[in-house]
Structure 1
Amino acid sequence: MLPPGSRGTKIKPPRKSIVNSSGGGQPIDFNSSWDVLAGAIVQIQNKNVSNLSYEQLYRKAYTLVLHKFGTRLYDNVKELIKSHLLTKRTELLMVLANNADGTNRERFLKSTLNEWNEHLQAMKFISDVLMYLNRVYVREQNKLLIYDLGIQLFKDNVIKYNNNEVGGKLTDILIQEITKNRGGEIISTKMYINKIIEMFELLHENNNIYENTVVENYYQKSFEPVFLSSSETFFQSLVIQNLAFEDSFKYLIETDQFLEDEISRINLYLPETTIPKLVDLMDNIMIKNQLDVIINLPNNGLQTWIRIIGDKVISGLQTSTIDQLKYLKLLYKLNHRIDDNCELLKVRLKNIIVNQGKEFPQLIKNVLASSENKESKKQTTNTPAFANRWIESILSYKAQFSVVVKESFDHDFSMEQYITTAIRDFVNLPSKIRQKPENQNLLVVNPSELLSIYMDYHIKQFSKPNSVKDKKQLDSISTVDEFINNSIQFLRFVNDKDAVEAFYKNHFAKRFLNSKGFNSNGHLRIDIEDLVISKLSEELGTTSLDSIIKMNMDIKSSKDITSDWKKSVGEKKDKSIVDLDLKICNVSYWPNSMTKDYKKLSGKEPDTEDKFIWPRYLKQTISQFEQFWSEGKKNDNKSLYWSPKFGSIDLKITYPSKTYEINLSTYAGIIMLLFGPSTVNSMDADYVSPFKDKRKLTYNEIKQLTGIPEADLKRHLQSIAVAPRSRLLIKTPMTKDVNETDVFELNEKFKSPSVKVKVLTVSASSTTKKKSSHEEELEEVESDIAEGRKHEVNAAIVRILKSRQSIVHRDLISETIKQLQSRFIPSNILIKRQLEDLIDKEYLKRDDENRNLFHYIA
């Protein structure tokens, strides 16, 4: 016969009833039939099936079921299998008992699996014999099929018998082996662990597995909770072990490696239902509960690695280390496992960047102070050297973080936004921060002013190449583009765009008014100014830059007028006329700090004490130009005022030793002209050389003869009589400060290595204890900004009221801030103040009943 369970085996039910049709047959003897079946089942369990007749056995089971012996048959089979399994259980425990040293736990696992597999095979054979019992009795009584009954009996009489004795030992061994593997030890039981867990999954806890209920198995009820509990203990011990080094980087590396290994391990051992539970457990214990701890480790936490970026930026380095990028990548990767948005990392990173950025000004000042250049030791925060270093450091800082976002943060745009916001926060650090005790030593700078200084410096550099190398550099468009791109990029960090415009306007005016004119590279300056203004207009809008655009038009107009004037002078051939490069400005467009007192300084304003007096050398030229200005009636409606406050004068002075071409400010030049010859023409008969004349003038005499304001007069006298390299005059007594009793005369011993000499004007702070010119200028600019903001707030409020007609106070405040935030963020106090101003001017009114409601007055 064919072996049982093969495809060729086919047991057919009998065609005729075993009972005699006449009713005279003998009754069925259950015991004799059972003895045959029981012997066969024992033979099957003992793997001795070759001599069994499955058709005969099937007929006997069929007859017993047909004669209503199904219950006795089912129960007897159950007891017989149970008895067999209890014997096998004892044998398994003996296997384990014979290995008390624990070195051969593998044999116990192997023996258990063998018994399990043999039991399943035996249950297949037994199920074939009792097929009719399954088909009729089991279904009618809603009992377990014989095969499923065998699995249930194995669970109850082998695994869970005697308070889960074998199951507990199997669980302990599996957990011990997995723990050894987690610790890095190579184990030989991997195959057995997998098979045992598969066995646990087949051992259902619900006896009636055919009901429409969730079936829980031995693995889920008994093994999984113990495994997760032991895993929790292991993970916690691993955290303590890794944190003991107080090394954030090492913790991240060890944790990341363990997580990868553990996921590979559990994918091999565990069913899919357990994997997410174990992953959550790992993430919570090893990452979520420890992330803030490892971020804030004092010696090697996130702050340490971010500080590396800042230190490199300050020192001028441009590259990130591999370890640094790897650390941040691991930190981001682990944070991303527990939070897709990485909120904790974002918050901590932003705080660290802001705190580090606050230190930039002081660090940069220290670097400049330690420079070998002696002049740099006197640098303040409003100098080109500081502005260049600070802005370039911040742009480099941002560029470094762009690399971090790309390499470490997986191009996460939200991370880049947080970093940009953090940089913007410390760039726009308010001065009120000084009021806090912990920030007393914090150096706070004005980003709007420094950006304007930065742009002013580079525009000047590009406008006056001094060597072939500089010209080649200037010819490189990428260099100019780089400067403009840097300026625009930094501008986007600055909140107060209107302040940038005000400072740029001020520096723009000074560049033009203090420049030497349109000779040399004047045309180049205009080209760069046009390019910069064009880029600023794209960023800020032409409306806000309207006055600067008109100032630039004045510059171009001045160039054309100068050209026409020089042609007119050339035609007249009048040698008494001084060569002029004219700068004609419309007062309404130019900064108030530049144009204030222009009438007084022009010398035309009558009844003014200490009015400015133009020297006789220039009066003829002034008169001739005024005549030229009024010709043709094109300037009839324009008043012309001369201002000596800006610009420069070129003097050719013949000293006993050499003739020098000296460039100095207009005020300084006018002072020097006081010591010139008594006649303008040196060919006159009564001409006497100034050095032979030895004219001496007191401070008060110079002041009376020129009308130069006292503060400016002292500064320029100090520039030409005290400064060692430009001592054109001798001051008696020779002291640093200029006093009213001082006497001045020409310095006939003046010498310079170069024929061309440029006299620099000393700063106001070195000549007076009063406010420096920069401080006064800063106050003027801030006053202009404050005044401009009043008008912008007024305009915004009127626009809102005109479109809404009526609006409540809260919504009006919100809408006003929203409209103006691209230029500046107005304070509530400013908005309320301007509301009252507009009410007084009858642009709007309060509601008679609701004081928080405003109405537009058409």
Structure 2
Amino acid sequence: MLPTVRRSSRIRPPRRSLVSSFVGASGTGATGGADNANVVDYDKSWAILSSAIKQIQNKNVSNLSYEQLYRKAYVLVLRKFGAKLYENVSELIKNHLLQRREILLKENSGLESPEDFLKAILLEWTEHLQSMKFISDVLMYLNRVYVKEHKRLLIYDLGIQLFKENVVKYNDDEVGKKLIDISISEITKSRSGQVITTKMYISKVVNMLELLEESVHINDGHSSSGENFYLKHFEPQFIAYSVNFFRQLCHKYIADASLLGTTYLHEINDFIKEEETRLSTFLPMSTFPKIIDLMNNILIKDKIDDIMCLPEEQQGLSFWMGQPCEDLFQDENIATTATKSYHSEELVILYELVGRIDPERDLLKKRLKELVVKEGLAIPVAIKEQLDSSSSGKKTSTSSAPFALSMISKILKYQQNLSLVLKECFANDFGLEQGVTIAMRDFINNASNKNKKQIGQDKANVTIPSSAELLSIYMDHYIKSFTKSNSSKVGATTTSKDSDLSVDEFMERSISFLRYIKDKDAFEAHYAAHFAKRFLNAKANGASIEIGSGKVDVEELILSKLGEEMGSSSLEKVLKMNRDIKSSRDMTVDWKKHNNTNGLQGNIELELKICNVADWPKSLSKDYTKFSSENFTWPSQLRSTLNDFEEYWLTGKKNDNKSLYWSPRFGSIDLRITYPSKLYEINLSPYAGIIMLLFAPQSSNDDGSPVSAFEEMRELKYEEIRELTKIPEADLKRQLQSIAVAPRSRLLIKTPMGKEVNEGDVFKLNSNFKAPSMKVKILTVSATSSGSTGPLSSKNGGGRKKTAQEEELEEVNANISESRNFEINAAIVRIMKSRQTLDHNELISELIRQLTNRFLPSTIQIKRQIEDLIQKEYLKRDDENRSLYHYVA
């Protein structure tokens, strides 16, 4: 064996005496014979060196003298034979490699196993590198002097190039093509699921091909790498084969008529993981990202959208997300508890796969948003069907409290389900969370428009209320329930009468739903209308609940929570109404003190509710002048007390600039009536109470004591009641139906008995009236039940007559529209005042930005208000540029 010498060691030339003696021994005597001596010296020296190189190539180096061989090469280079020596060494190595190639192909021509061929070529490559290392050590001085000066390849690098040219690429890349075909074939088998035994050999072959440089540049004696055999020949073929394989693999699943999205998802995900492991084992990192990109584009990017859009029976995204509508109705007792019905494993895989082609996951966000909107719009339909079926075929109004309660509870439960999916399957991805929030906001705010034809197709007038109105109905129901529950045990977790919902839970859900509503101003308008009704129809001026060590007014608590969410300025109208409520409470206390002081205390007690007409909804206050003495007749039993309060109202002239009107449309009356069975305290509407007072006894006994009403038993015809009270006919019929037709509240007897109240009907007290408790509350029948929706109205072109609720809703919507016009005008003036001059598009953009937290104004509405302000001379158009506005100071 030749001793190995590190390439970094310093080469010291032999002493001159040794060189002289070596040259002299070759027969050189005089100077003139130097040329002849040199020729003889080279041939002999080359014979020794070539013989040694052959022995190194044949792995027979035990008898070689490294020092002698090195000296011979040194002297040849020193005597200017470097070029000849370099060429001879190159030719010798070339011939040896050609011989080895023939032997290699001959020995492996009959072998069927690709493993044996790869093993043989790798063995030849390893032995060649080892021999080149020894040869390079012998010719070290040739590398340092001749190679560096003439910018040739180092002997070791020359050996690699010769191996490429005379083994791998020789005869039109015969061996190279065979290596590529075998390697790609083995990798393809592995991709197909077959077990191969050539893994180690393939990676070594790839490493070998990477060392075979296609173009080499010499700089300062060092070779610089260009494109290698692997990059030029192996990688392009492998990529082409990979493209075909990925397409075939994809077609294998897509062509299947019974394709299931779940199957495709799992198969592709498993293949991708195996492929990444396979590539990291066989191929260099330069190829890895190229194949991964190809694989991602063909298997995921080109097909994942089709897979997600598969119908539910073929298991697409809708299947993986579960059955939201069905799940929402599984447990009615847990209104907003999230249920895990989705396929988490598939969703996690989907999230990871989509992330490989799009880190932002815009495609998944888009499809998820579409699915959420579609499923969300189906929720109202399912709720309507469920409520209709549970009410024995009776149609449930979408404006009713049951619909609003179920709608909001189900939507919030659906939102929790989606949050659970985002957390467990989508890694709380912020982008997807935003997409879901936008989708929730879209279907919540657009359900009333898009479901007009889905709900109540047999009745064109059945539509879903706006989300703002639904939330107001929802909150109104629970606030009333909390108020009713006030008489029971209360505390920090005070619950409603109708459910186990506490005040805190109720507010949390209400605020959560409120955040999805785009038109906050519409919610305020509806909330103000319900707020006014609660106050005007409540028996008392207010109710409080115990929280901690003190009492808190329910309405005050909720207003404070809404103020924190929306800003107190947004609830200005409701806050003004609330100030009227507080003022009414103080007025009631003062009035009672006044009665006690002046001895005016009688049988009638007033619980005052005084409202400033300008601050209360027009839908409730628009007809207040109709109840003057000319249009409405108050009973004599009440007239005296009302007159007393009117005098007190002007006492001290503190209210002399305010007109006072009494409205029997709101509030309630408590009557104490002694029936033959027992005494009842009956709470009923003012209209109904006024009708009942008509049946009070009008005569007295001989001793002056009053006659019992049941002894007198007055009978009044419908026409007489109408004339005595002057109650509007529609309201009168409803009230008479409530107290004379409804089975459980027949305070009066109607003759003839029937559902409808008609001309000529006679009414009298029902002496057989009985109720389970002493306190009785008479509810007013709905306008629909009373039949007021049946007749056709000539005023609206022969269409259905509008109910009081529909008219009230129209008033609220009209107020919303009017209020928006004011807000748009104020915002335009505010913007123009600060800018003075502004382009039309810039004005609209700034206007939308300022108003978006309140509502989203339409372009038509904005243009209309701009024209209005131009007419009012707040703005003017530029004389030359008509799209430019100037503020008029």
Query: Is 1:94 equivalent to 2:111 in the alignment?
Result: no
Q: Which amino acid aligns with 2:678?
A: K
Structure-2 residue corresponding to 1:527: 553
Match of residue 332, structure 1, among 329, 337, 351: 351
- 1:491-526 CA-to-partner distances (Å, cap 9, x unmatched) read 121111111111000000000000111487699997
SS at match of 2:683: strand
CA contact (8 A) 1:58 1:130 kept: yes
- Alpha-carbon distance, 1:701 to partner: 0.9
CA contact (8 A) 1:429 1:444 kept: no
CA contact (8 A) 2:381 2:454 kept: no
Moved more, 654-663 or 583-592: 654-663
- 1:42-78 CA-to-partner distances (Å, cap 9, x unmatched) read 1111111111122332333334444444343333322
Matched length? 846
Query: Is 1:852 equivalent to 2:883 in the alignment?
Result: yes
CA contact (8 A) 1:3 1:9 kept: no
In structure 2, relative to structure 1, the CA distance for the partners of 1:6 and 1:842 (3 Å cut) is closer
Structure-1 residue corresponding to 2:781: 762
Distance 1:459 1:696 in 2: 41
Structure-1 residue corresponding to 2:527: 504
Distance 1:443 1:419 in 2: 25
- 1:792-847 CA-to-partner distances (Å, cap 9, x unmatched) read 11111211221122223332222222222211122222222222322332323333
Distance 2:463 2:71 in 1: 102
Query: Is 1:116 equivalent to 2:142 in the alignment?
Result: no
Structure-1 residue corresponding to 2:717: 698
- The aligned runs of 1:34-433 (5 Å cut-off) are 34-100=46-112, 102=113, 105-208=114-217, 210=219, 215-243=226-254, 244=256, 246-298=259-311, 299-306=314-321, 308-316=323-331, 318-321=337-340, 324-371=343-390, 374=392, 377-429=394-446, 433=450
Query: Is 1:724 equivalent to 2:765 in the alignment?
Result: no
SS at match of 1:543: helix
- Alpha-carbon distance, 1:207 to partner: 4.5
Query: Is 1:639 equivalent to 2:659 in the alignment?
Result: yes
- Alpha-carbon distance, 1:577 to partner: 3.7
CA contact (8 A) 2:671 2:681 kept: yes
In structure 2, relative to structure 1, the CA distance for the partners of 1:262 and 1:669 (3 Å cut) is same
- 1:413-465 CA-to-partner distances (Å, cap 9, x unmatched) read 22211111111111111755479999979954311111111111111111111
Structure-1 residue corresponding to 2:604: 578
Moved more, 417-426 or 650-659: 650-659
SS at match of 1:650: strand
In structure 2, relative to structure 1, the CA distance for the partners of 1:291 and 1:522 (3 Å cut) is closer
SS at match of 2:650: helix
- Alpha-carbon distance, 1:9 to partner: 12
Structure-2 residue corresponding to 1:783: 814
Distance 1:397 1:176 in 2: 51
- Alpha-carbon distance, 1:246 to partner: 2.4
SS at match of 2:569: coil
- Alpha-carbon distance, 1:578 to partner: 0.5
In structure 2, relative to structure 1, the CA distance for the partners of 1:320 and 1:170 (3 Å cut) is farther
Distance 2:63 2:224 in 1: 43
Distance 1:431 1:468 in 2: 38
Moved more, 666-675 or 79-88: 79-88
Q: Which amino acid aligns with 1:259?
A: I
Distance 1:634 1:264 in 2: 90
Distance 1:683 1:315 in 2: 70
Structure-2 residue corresponding to 1:669: 689
Distance 1:332 1:669 in 2: 66
Query: Is 1:594 equivalent to 2:614 in the alignment?
Result: no
Query: Is 1:774 equivalent to 2:789 in the alignment?
Result: no
Structure-1 residue corresponding to 2:467: 447
Distance 2:456 2:155 in 1: 82
- Alpha-carbon distance, 1:563 to partner: 2.0
Structure-2 residue corresponding to 1:514: 537
In structure 2, relative to structure 1, the CA distance for the partners of 1:170 and 1:572 (3 Å cut) is same
Q: Which amino acid aligns with 1:401?
A: L
SS at match of 1:465: helix
Distance 1:163 1:90 in 2: 15
- Alpha-carbon distance, 1:539 to partner: 2.6
- The aligned runs of 1:9-20 (5 Å cut-off) are 12-13=13-14, 15=16, 16-17=19-20, 18=23, 20=28
CA contact (8 A) 1:242 1:251 kept: yes
CA contact (8 A) 1:307 1:356 kept: no
Moved more, 180-189 or 124-133: 180-189
Moved more, 451-460 or 295-304: 295-304
Structure-1 residue corresponding to 2:3: 3
CA contact (8 A) 1:465 1:471 kept: no
Distance 2:884 2:168 in 1: 80
SS at match of 1:278: helix
Distance 1:537 1:82 in 2: 91
Query: Is 1:482 equivalent to 2:499 in the alignment?
Result: no
CA contact (8 A) 1:309 1:320 kept: no
CA contact (8 A) 2:151 2:218 kept: no
Q: Which amino acid aligns with 1:569?
A: N
CA contact (8 A) 1:433 1:439 kept: no
Query: Is 1:822 equivalent to 2:822 in the alignment?
Result: no
SS at match of 1:584: coil
SS at match of 1:638: coil
In structure 2, relative to structure 1, the CA distance for the partners of 1:466 and 1:559 (3 Å cut) is closer
Query: Is 1:685 equivalent to 2:704 in the alignment?
Result: yes
- Alpha-carbon distance, 1:489 to partner: 1.9
- Alpha-carbon distance, 1:320 to partner: 4.7
Query: Normalising to structure 1: TM-score of the pair?
Result: 0.92
- Alpha-carbon distance, 1:752 to partner: 2.2
Query: Normalising to structure 2: TM-score of the pair?
Result: 0.89
Counting aligned pairs with the same residue, the percent is 54
- Alpha-carbon distance, 1:314 to partner: 4.5
Structure 1 segments of 4+ aligned residues over 6 angstroms from their partners? 6-11, 434-442, 469-472, 475-478, 522-526, 681-684
Task: Give ranges in structure 1 of 5+ residues lacking alignment.
Answer: none
In structure 2, relative to structure 1, the CA distance for the partners of 1:560 and 1:166 (3 Å cut) is same
In structure 2, relative to structure 1, the CA distance for the partners of 1:438 and 1:236 (3 Å cut) is farther
Distance 1:190 1:825 in 2: 64
- 1:522-575 CA-to-partner distances (Å, cap 9, x unmatched) read 999971111111122223232232221111111112112212222333455556
CA contact (8 A) 2:691 2:725 kept: yes
CA contact (8 A) 2:373 2:440 kept: yes
Distance 1:439 1:290 in 2: 39
Distance 1:696 1:292 in 2: 77
SS at match of 2:616: coil
- Alpha-carbon distance, 1:284 to partner: 0.9
Q: Which amino acid aligns with 1:500?
A: F
